[in-house]
Chains A and B, each alone.
Chain A
Amino acid sequence: MRLDIKKTYKLYIGGKFPRSESGHTFELASAKGEFVANVVLASRKDARDAVVAARAAQPGWESATAYNRGQILYRIAEMLEGRREQFVDEIRELTGSTEKAANQEVDAAIDSWVWHAGWSDKVDSVAGSMNPVAGPYFNISTNQPTGVVAAFAPQQSSLVGLVNTIAPIIVTGNTVVVVASELLPLSAITLTEVLATSDLPGGVVNVLTGKESDMAPWLASHQDVNAVDLEGTSDPVDLEIRAADTLKRVVRPGTFSRSAAKGSLQQILAFMEVKTVWHPKGH
C-alpha cells in the first residue's frame, strides 16, 4: 500500500505561503471529532506583516484597469470550479454536511465571484455622478477604494461567507487582510491556492488562520488600516471603539447577508470613498 501525502496548511501573505513567525499551531478536528490537521495560529506579528503586504500591493491593484480586475475575479471563479471536489470534501469533513449541501455552497461561492467580477467596471456608472452645479464648472463624483481593509469572515460558513467577505472588498481596488473562520478554516486555506493561480497580484488578499480574538484588537487599532469588516468577530463593540481612534470605516456584524450566490452593491460601496472633482469651464 501507498501512504498518502498530507497537506501542510499555512498562511497566505504577500503572495507567499509562510508559517506563523510564532511557530504556534492548533489541532483542527473534523465534524466527527477526529484529528484533521495542525493549523497555523497566526500571531499579531503575522497580522502586521499581512497589513504591510496589503499596503504594498494596494496602489498597483487600484491602478489596474477595472476590466483587468474583473477578469482576474472571473479567473478565480474558473479556478474554483476546477477544484470543486476538493472544496466539497473539505467542507464535508469539517461540517459533516451532505454532499448536496456542500456542492450548493461551492456553487454559490463560484457564482458570487462571477457576480462581483462584473461590478468592477460598473460601480462608477451606477454610484458615481456628473453633478449639475449652479455655475460654470465641470463637476464629477467617482468612487475610489478606501485602501487596506481588515476583514473577519463569518464563523459559521466554510466558503461562501468568506467569498462574500473578500470579493466586495477587492473588486474595486482595495486590498484585504482576512481572518478565516476559526473552526472552519480549511476552505480558506485551499482558496489561497486558487487565488495564487488566478493572476491575482500577491498581497491583494492575505489570509490568516487562528484565533480571531488574538488578531482582531491589533488589526482594529492598526494605523495603516482604513476600514474594518467586523462580521466574524466576538467582541465587535470593543473593536469599533479601537477603530474609532483612526476613524476607520466600520461594517458592523450582521449588516450584510453573506450566504447567497451574489452580494450587495451597498457592501461594495462600504469600502469606497466618493471623490468629487471640480474644474472651471472656460476657454
Chain B
Amino acid sequence: MFEYAPAPESRKLVTFQSSYGHFIGGKFTKPSNTYQTISPATEEILAEISTATAKDVDLAVAAARNAYEKVWSKLSGAERGKYLYRIARIIQERARELAIAETLNNGKPIKETRDADIPLVSAWFFYYAGWADKLDYAGLGVNPKAHGVAAQVIPWNFPLMMLAWKIAPALAAGNTVVLKPAETTPLTALLFAEICQQAGLPDGVVNIITGFGQSGADLIAHKDVNKVAFTGSTGVGRLIAKQVAGTNKKVTLELGGKAANIVFDDAPLDQAVEGIINGIFFNQGHVCCAGSRLLVQESIQDELLKKLKKRMETLKLGDPLDKNTDIGAINSKVQLDKITKLVKLGVKEGGEAWAPNCEIPKKGFWYAPTVITGVAPTNTVVREEIFGPVLSVLSFRTPAEAVAKANNTPFGLSAGIWSEKGSRILKVADQLNAGVIWANTFNQFDPASPFGGFKESGYGREGGRHGLLAYLKGDN
C-alpha cells in the first residue's frame, strides 16, 4: 500500500467576514442574534451568523415581492437569462475559492467540492439561463407565468449545489426568491449573495436569510409567499405539507431516501465495488439518494463483500482540504450522534458492523466507513435513513425478490442496478419505484436530468425541463 504525502489545498483564497447579517434587498443587514458557524473537521470558528426573526423574514419577503412587482416580472426572459449567465460565469471564475469555502464549512473533501459540487453549481445556472427566454416550450402552453415569490429552504449536505438547484430555475421562470441555507452551512450562500452583487442582479431578486428551523418555518408560512421548495428530511417535509394545506402555495419537496443498490451475479464486480463505494461513501453518505442498502445476489455475496472490504481499507479519511482525502468530516455533532446511535442499534438488533482500521482525528466529527451484514429487511438500519457512511447488506436469489426487497420501503428516491444484461436492467428499472435509477453507475447528477422521488421521498422534480415546471403555472 502506498502512503501519500500531505497535499492540502491552500486556504489563502478564502476570506470570511467575522460576522454576517442577512442579504435583503441587495444589501447585508447589520448582524443580529448571532451564532457561530464552524469547520466540522477542526471545530474552528469560521464566522458569526445571524438568526432571522419573523421580522427579518417579513423584510426579506417584502423585498422579494417588491423586486418581483417592480423589476423582475417586467424584464424579458432574454434579459433574465443574461443575469443567470453572468452568475454562472462568476461562479466559474471563483470556483476554487467556493470549493475551499464549502469544504471548510461542510467538512466534505476538497476533491468533491472542486470536481463535483461547484462545477455543477455553475452548470445549473448556465443550463437554466438558457430556459429563461424559452418558457413557451416548457410544456404548459404559450406564455406561462411565474408564481411570484418563492420560499426556498435547503439542507447542509450540498450547500451551494442545493442553492443552485433552487435559485436557477426559480429566477429563469421569473420568480424572485428568499432562500434560507442550513444553520450549519451558511457561508457559501453568503458568498453567493456577494456574487449576486457582482453580477449586478437587481436588488431583492435574491434574498438570503440565515438561521435555524424556526426561521425556515416562518419563511414557508409567510402569507405573501406563492411557492415553497424544500430539500431535507421527510419529517420536516410532512410538517410543510401540513402547513401549506388550505393555501394556494405550490410545493415541491425533495426528501429522504433509502436506496437499494442491486448487484446481480452477472455484474462487472470491480466496477460494482467502485459503484457501491461511490454510492454510500460519497460525501460521507450525507446524500438523500445514497445507495445505503446493498442488495447482492446470493451466489456472489461472499466474493463481493471480500472485494468491497479490501477496497474500503484503501479509503483515506482525514483533512477535507487534503486533495487525497476520500472521506471527510461528519457535518455536525448532532449528525454524528445520530449515526452512532443507529449503528449501535443495528448491532443490538443482530447486525454485524465492520469498519476498516483507519485513524480518526482527535478534533472534529468523524465516522469510519462501515458495513453492516447479517441484517433483515425489518432491521432499523435497513429501514431508516442513516445519512452517514453506513452500508447495510441484504441478499436475494431472483430478480423478482430483488425488486420486491428494493421496493419494500416508504421511500422512493433512487436505486442502482449492476448487471451486464441489458434486457434485465430495463425490466428491473421499469419495476423499481424510484425517481432516479443508475444502472452500472451511481450518484450521477446533471442540470439536464430530472431528479426527485416517488412516495415519501417527496414530489416534484429538480433539473431539466421538468424542474422548470415547478416554478411556472399555465392554464389547466
| B449→A133 contact, CB < 8 A | yes
Q: Among the listed stretches A11-19, A89-97, A179-187, A238-246, which one makes contact with chain B, having 4 or more residues with CB under 8 Å of it?
A: A238-246
Which chain B residues lie closer than 8 Å to A141 at the CB level? 449-450, 464, 466
Complex CA distance for A262 and B12, rounded to whole angstroms: 63
Contacts of B129-152 to chain A: CB distance below 8 A? 139-140
Give complex CA distance A245, B237 in Å. 9
Interface centre among B242, B245, B455, B458 (most CB of A within 10 A): B245
Q: Does B267 contact A (CB under 8 A)?
A: no
Residues of chain A within 8 A (CB-CB) of B461 are 274
Verify if B425 is at the interface (C-beta below 8 Å from A).
yes
Please tell me which one of the listed residues A129, A132, A266, A280 contacts residue B474 in the complex, with CB atoms under 8 A apart.
A266
CA distance A133 to B446 in the complex (A): 6
Given contacts A266-B474, A274-B466, A278-B437, contact A240 B449 (CB under 8 A): no
A129-B465, A276-B450 as given contacts; A244 in contact with B242, CB under 8 Å: yes
Partner of A277, one of B437, B451, B455, B474: B437
Asked whether B123 lies within 8 Å of A134 as measured between CB atoms, the reply is yes
Interface string of B238-252 (1 = CB under 8 A from A): 100110011000000
What 1/0 mask marks residues of chain B from 420 to 443 whose CB sits below 8 Å from any chain A CB? Answer: 000001000110011111111100
- Residues on A with C-beta less than 8 A from B464 are 129, 131, 141
Interface positions of A from 124 to 176, Cβ below 8 Å from B: 126-127, 129, 131-135, 137, 139, 141, 144, 146-147
Closest partner residue, chain B, to A256 (CB atom): B476
Contact between A247 and B459, CB atoms less than 8 A apart? yes
Q: B476 and A278: CB pair below 8 A? A: no
Q: In whole angstroms, what is the CA distance A237 to B242 when docked?
A: 9
B99 contacts the other chain (Cβ, under 8 Å)?
no
CB proximity of A224 to chain B, nearest CB, Å: 11
Residue A257 at the chain B interface, CB threshold 8 Å: yes
Chain A residues with Cβ under 8 A from B281's Cβ? Answer: none
Across the interface, B246 reaches (CB within 8 A) one of A146, A236, A249, namely A236
A267 to B476, alpha carbons, bound, how many Å?
8
Q: What separation, in Å, do the CA atoms of A248 and B458 have in the docked complex?
A: 9
**Contact in complex: B238, A279 (CB < 8 Å):** no
Residues A247 and B255 in contact, CB atoms below 8 Å apart: yes
Q: How many residues of A contact B (CB 8 A)?
A: 41
- Determine the chain B residues whose CB is within 8 A of the CB of A241 once the complex forms: 242, 245
B234 within 8 A of A: yes
* CB pair B246 A246 closer than 8 Å: no
B433 surroundings in chain A (CB, below 8 A): 147
As a 0/1 sequence over residues 18 to 30 of chain B, the CB contacts with chain A under 8 angstroms (1 = contact) are: 0000000000000
Known: A237-B245, A244-B238, A257-B476. A273 touches B436 (CB 8 A): no
| Minimum Cβ distance to chain B for residue A140 (Å) | 9
Residues on A with C-beta less than 8 A from B365 are: none
Q: Which residues of A contact B314 (CB under 8 A)?
A: none
Q: What's the minimum C-beta distance from B388 to chain A, rounded to whole angstroms?
A: 23
| Contact A276:B451 (CB < 8 A) given known A137-B444, A247-B255, A264-B476 | yes
Given contacts A131-B448, A137-B444, contact A246 B456 (CB under 8 A): yes
Interface: B377 (CB within 8 A)? no
Q: Tell whether B253 is near chain A: CB-to-CB under 8 Å.
A: yes
Whether B444 and A135, one on each chain, are in contact in the complex, defined by CB atoms closer than 8 angstroms, is: yes
Asked if A277 and B429 make an inter-chain contact with CB atoms under 8 angstroms apart, the answer reads yes
Per the bound structure, the CA–CA distance linking A256 and B476 in Å amounts to 6
A278 contacts B449, CB within 8 Å? yes
Bound complex: CA of A249 vs CA of B452, how far in Å?
Answer: 14
* B101 smallest CB distance to A (angstroms): 24
**Is B440's CB under 8 angstroms from A247's CB?**
no
Tell yes or no: A255 within 8 A of B by CB.
yes
Q: Does A221 reach chain B (CB closer than 8 Å)?
A: no
Q: Are A131 and B446 interface neighbours, CB within 8 A?
A: yes
> Which residue of B425, B465, B476 is within 8 Å of A279 (Cβ)?
B425
| A100 within 8 A of partner (CB) | no
Most chain B CB atoms below 10 A, which of A146, A257, A273: A273
Task: Tell whether, in the assembled complex, residue A273 and residue B454 are in contact, meaning their CB atoms are under 8 Å apart.
Answer: yes
- CB-defined contacts of A256 to chain B, threshold 8 Å: 476
A275 within 8 A of B: yes
Inter-chain contacts of B438 with A (CB < 8 A):
277-278
Bound state CA distance, A250 and B460, in angstroms? 12
Cβ contacts under 8 Å, A280 to chain B: 440-441
Closest chain-A Cβ to B418's Cβ sits at a distance in Å of: 11
Q: Report whether B234 and A279 are in contact in the complex, using a CB–CB cutoff of 8 Å.
A: no
CB of B410 closer than 8 Å to a CB of A: yes
Q: Which residues of A contact B139 (CB under 8 A)?
A: 126-127
Whether B449 pairs with A273 at a CB distance below 8 angstroms is: no
| Contact across chains for B253 and A247 when beta carbons are under 8 A apart | yes
A226 at the interface (CB under 8 A from B): yes
Q: Given the complex, which residues of A lie within 8 Å of B436, measured CB to CB? A: 275-276, 278
Q: Roughly how many angstroms separate A137 CA and B445 CA in the complex, as a whole number? A: 11
Whether the pair B245, A146 counts as a contact (CB closer than 8 A) is: no
Nearest chain B CB to A227 CB, angstrom units: 9
Give Cα distance in the complex from A180 to B83, angstroms.
Answer: 51
Q: Report the Cα distance A277→B140, complex, angstroms.
A: 24
The minimal Cβ–Cβ distance linking A113 to chain B, given in whole angstroms, is 20
Tell me the complex Cα distance, A146–B434, Å.
Answer: 11
Closest to A141 in B: B450
Taking a contact as CB atoms closer than 8 A, the residue among B430, B437, B441, B458 that contacts A276 in the complex is B437
Identify the closest chain B residue to A134 (Cβ): B446
Q: In the bound complex, what is the Cα–Cα distance between A275 and B441 (angstroms)?
A: 16
What's the Cα separation between A129 and B461 when bound, in Å? 13
List chain B residues, Cβ under 8 A from A245: 238
Q: How far is the CB of A260 from chain B (nearest CB, A)?
A: 11
Q: Given A249-B459, A264-B476, A277-B437, A146 and B454 touching (CB < 8 A)?
A: yes
Closest residue of B by beta carbon distance from A266: B476
Bound CA–CA A127/B456 (angstroms): 23
- Name the residue of chain A whose CB is nearest to the CB of B123: A134
Q: Mark B198-209, 1 if CB is under 8 A from A, else 0.
A: 000000000000
Instruction: Tell me the minimal C-beta distance from B171 to chain A in angstroms.
Output: 21
A51 CB to nearest B CB, Å: 16
User: Could you tell me if B449 and A131 are in contact, using CB atoms closer than 8 angstroms?
Assistant: yes
B412, B425, B437, most chain A CB atoms within 10 A: B437
Given A141-B450, A247-B255, 14 additional A-B pairs, CB 8 A: A134-B123, A137-B441, A240-B245, A244-B238, A247-B253, A247-B456, A266-B140, A266-B474, A267-B476, A274-B450, A275-B435, A276-B449, A277-B438, A278-B437
Can you give 14 A-B contacts (C-beta < 8 A)?
A: A129-B464, A129-B466, A134-B123, A237-B246, A244-B245, A247-B456, A249-B459, A256-B476, A266-B474, A273-B435, A274-B452, A274-B461, A277-B438, A279-B425
Binding site for B on A (CB under 8 A): 126-127, 129, 131-135, 137, 139, 141, 144, 146-147, 226, 236-238, 240-241, 243-247, 249-250, 255-257, 264, 266-267, 273-280
Closest 7 CB pairs of A and B: A244-B241, A240-B245, A237-B246, A133-B446, A244-B242, A131-B448, A279-B439
